[in-house]
Amino acid sequence: MKNISFYLVTDPHYYDSSFKRTGKAYEERSITDQKCVAETPAIIDAGFAQIAKDKDTDMILIPGDLVYRGEYQSHVGFRDRLYKLREQGKRIYLITARHDYCEDGEPVEFEDDKLLPVKGMPRAELRDFYKDFGFADAVSEHKESMSYVAQLSDGVRLLALNCDGDCKDFKGLWENQLAWALEQIKEAHDARQYIFAMTHYPLLPFSPIMHLIGDAHLTDWEQTAQKLADAGLDLIFTGHMHAQAVTEYTTEKGNRITDVQTGCFVGCPCAYRKVTLTDSTAEIQSYTVQDFAYDKQGKTAKEYFAWRFNRMIDRKMDEILPKPAKKLLDKFTLKKLGRLLCFRVDKSIENRLAKDIGIELVRNIFIGNEPYVKDTPIYEAMQKLLKRLHPVTHIVEKKMGAKNPVLSDIDTFILSMIGDERQRDYDTVLEINHHCR
Ligand SMILES: [Fe+2]
Ligand SMILES: [Fe+2]
């Protein structure tokens, strides 16, 4: 097989530049959003320009959530940009996801304190609307689910799986869709082709906490992972959770599948990936959007993205935490918190606010390569804090551990979320299975 390279861009959530996007109603919506919305035309243009500069890589894969919330005009604006990339020699393969079609009256623009309805994109029109980006020249197509297989090069195929499911609670592959997918994997292997997949929803929970969030993975992720992996699929690219993560799963039969989830193109840290497939490896490199033409209030792009993320978490903590607990976090440094709960924190971190650390720990889960591994001062402080809190966490373990195995040991659960020993969420080399070739 000749080496091939492609870019992965996920969750661009384009919001067309023609829409109104100022005022109280917009601010209220955007403050609870990790991703940027008003800024998307500028960020996407900058990101696409970065990608277009690489003349050696002519493919881009986009696993869904192309627009903000199903606005028809956002699809028009986004597709125009894809056609421009095509003029620059790029081939684009995409699937759509749940933010790409309208549900009753959802698409809006924003003016002062009002949400004004705008025309939405019906789901049934998406396939033809984007036919030039994977569907039209597919080797095989599962039209009912808007899934297809594309021949990317001599010897490499892409299994592009839409996972809208029932467009309600079930996010996954229908029985006949999965049967078709398994057949496609077999056909590819019989023809000595390497085949990998992309879906919008992550196949695998990428952090212990993601086991507890239904929206963070395919509804029946474990069965699907088993079936795909046992059929010989070993690599899948996903998005949706707006997180950078590389996660693997091994079936009882010993077959491994790796889920490479890419963070949102327009949300902290605005990451995308370049993947090179060789005979036996998938080499993954990650990049971020470096700058974009927008009033960033004196911040660098990186600072701006982090600021957007932080205020979202801050707002969520306001909503979730009881007021006294929030006050405590807002005012307490780690030193004070340590004093209160009788544990010592390292001098290098004692003046940091507990609240800021809390926000950073959440942000790190999404940014990936979580840094607080064993022997770092934050890890040690967390370990001591958890020890002090054990009388309380023990009750949670007892109550909830049976139903949710990840909660049967809260200390391990938390500590494994703040530090990732493998540090491979950005750049890594994965071995890929070439028994089929
Ligand atoms: Fe999504
Ligand atoms: Fe998304």
Q: Is residue 101 part of a domain?
A: yes
Among all ligands shown, which has an atom nearest to the Cα of 215? 1
Compute the distance from residue 100 Cα to the ligand 1 centre, in Å: 9
Among all ligands shown, which has an atom nearest to the Cα of 11? 2
Compute the distance from residue 34 Cα to the ligand 2 centre, in Å: 10
Q: Is residue 76 part of a domain?
A: yes
Q: Where are the beta strands (DSSP E) in 242-301?
A: 245-250, 256-261, 271-277, 281-288
Compute the distance from residue 75 Cα to the ligand 2 centre, in Å: 15
Domain check: are 189 and 337 in the same one?
no
> Tell me, what CATH number does 156's domain have?
3.60.21.10
Domain check: are 323 and 287 in the same one?
no
β-pair type (428-431, 281-288): antiparallel
Domain check: are 25 and 91 in the same one?
yes
Domain check: are 186 and 318 in the same one?
no
Domain check: are 335 and 394 in the same one?
yes
Among all ligands shown, which has an atom nearest to the Cα of 14? 2
Among all ligands shown, which has an atom nearest to the Cα of 163? 1
14-59 tens-digit pLDDT: 999 999 999 999 999 999 998 999 999 999 999 999 999 999 999 9
Residue ranges in the chain whose pLDDT is less than 70: 104-105, 434-437
Domain check: are 131 and 199 in the same one?
yes
Compute the distance from residue 262 Cα to the ligand 1 centre, in Å: 12
Compute the distance from residue 146 Cα to the ligand 2 centre, in Å: 18
Residue 311: both structure tokens together: 């205020």
223-265 tens-digit pLDDT: 999 999 999 999 999 999 999 999 999 999 999 999 999 999 9
Compute the distance from residue 14 Cα to the ligand 2 centre, in Å: 10
User: CB neighbours of 227 closer than 8 A, spacing ≥ 6?
Assistant: 178, 182
Rounded to two decimals, the pTM is 0.95
Compute the distance from residue 334 Cα to the ligand 1 centre, in Å: 36
Give the per-residue pLDDT at 435: 55
Domain check: are 249 and 328 in the same one?
no
Compute the distance from residue 264 Cα to the ligand 2 centre, in Å: 7
Domain check: are 265 and 375 in the same one?
no
User: From CA 317, how far away is CA 322, in angstroms rounded?
Assistant: 9
Compute the distance from residue 50 Cα to the ligand 1 centre, in Å: 24
Compute the distance from residue 431 Cα to the ligand 1 centre, in Å: 28
DSSP 108: E
Compute the distance from residue 176 Cα to the ligand 1 centre, in Å: 23
β-pair type (235-238, 245-250): unpaired
Compute the distance from residue 433 Cα to the ligand 2 centre, in Å: 30
Among all ligands shown, which has an atom nearest to the Cα of 202? 1
Compute the distance from residue 317 Cα to the ligand 1 centre, in Å: 22
Q: Is residue 437 part of a domain?
A: no
Q: Is residue 301 part of a domain?
A: no
Compute the distance from residue 385 Cα to the ligand 2 centre, in Å: 34
Question: What's the domain count of the chain?
Answer: 2
Give the per-residue pLDDT at 3: 92
What's the Cα-to-Cα distance from 298 to each of 163, 303, 308, rounded to whole Å? 40, 9, 14
Among all ligands shown, which has an atom nearest to the Cα of 34? 2
Compute the distance from residue 92 Cα to the ligand 1 centre, in Å: 19
Compute the distance from residue 242 Cα to the ligand 2 centre, in Å: 6
Q: Is residue 39 part of a domain?
A: yes
Domain check: are 269 and 317 in the same one?
no
Give the per-residue pLDDT at 437: 46
Count other C-beta atoms under 10 Å from residue 181's C-beta.
26
Q: Is residue 299 part of a domain?
A: no
**396 Rama class: left (phi>0) / alpha (psi -120 to 50) / beta:** alpha
Q: Order of strands, edge to edge, in the sheet holding 245-250?
A: 140-142, 147-153, 156-161, 194-199, 235-238, 256-261, 245-250
Give the closest residue to 258 by CA, choosing from 231, 233, 285, 235. 235
- The residue segments making up the domain with residue 356 are 306-418
Give the per-residue pLDDT at 433: 81
Give the closest residue to 7 by CA, choosing from 61, 77, 73, 72. 61
Q: Is residue 169 part of a domain?
A: yes
Domain check: are 155 and 24 in the same one?
yes
Domain check: are 94 and 238 in the same one?
yes
Compute the distance from residue 221 Cα to the ligand 2 centre, in Å: 18
Compute the distance from residue 98 Cα to the ligand 1 centre, in Å: 6
Compute the distance from residue 374 Cα to the ligand 1 centre, in Å: 33
Compute the distance from residue 395 Cα to the ligand 1 centre, in Å: 34
What's the Cα-to-Cα distance from 227 to each of 162, 183, 245, rounded to whole Å? 17, 12, 22
Domain check: are 278 and 381 in the same one?
no
Q: Is residue 271 part of a domain?
A: yes
Give the per-residue pLDDT at 94: 98
